[in-house]
Structure 1
């Protein structure tokens, strides 16, 4: 993994982006300490997925499934 200072990254930003396109992440340092990482899009999508499952999808993914017993008898008499 390549490391470069912010100054270098600014001057060669297109090279940093090209390296990421080729699958090579780059660590950007600020005052000698790691501050950021430029990574390929595929890695970012895996680390930070955009789509979060909705409640129905989450419940359906429950191991063993969900089964509910339904009582069809009316709760009370209704006078219409």
Structure 2
């Protein structure tokens, strides 16, 4: 379960929020009743930081030049 606190409370109890995150319990901070940020633990952050975007996944695919069919029509014209 995620611990949630108002911004003023989060500032006053930052050490406790870090302890929650270290135990794998993320903490959310709210401002004016809206969630503004989430403090995950380092292990969760490292896992999320390693997640590939779809673009990175495509770029990292082990393809050779002959693996894809040639494109018909060449490059398209773009006006700026």
Q: TM-score, normalised by structure 1?
A: 0.62
1:41 corresponds in structure 2 to 42
Unaligned runs of 5+ in 2: 51-59, 67-80
> In proportion to residue count, which structure has more helix?
2
2:74 corresponds in structure 1 to none
2:6 corresponds in structure 1 to 5
Unaligned runs of 5+ in 1: 50-57, 69-80
Consecutive aligned runs of 4 or more in structure 1 exceeding 6 Å deviation:
none
Q: TM-score, normalised by structure 2?
A: 0.62
Q: What is the aligned residue count? A: 57
1:1-80 equivalence runs, <5 A: 1-49=2-50, 58=60, 61-62=61-62, 66=64
Indicate the structure (1 or 2) with the bigger Cα radius of gyration: 1
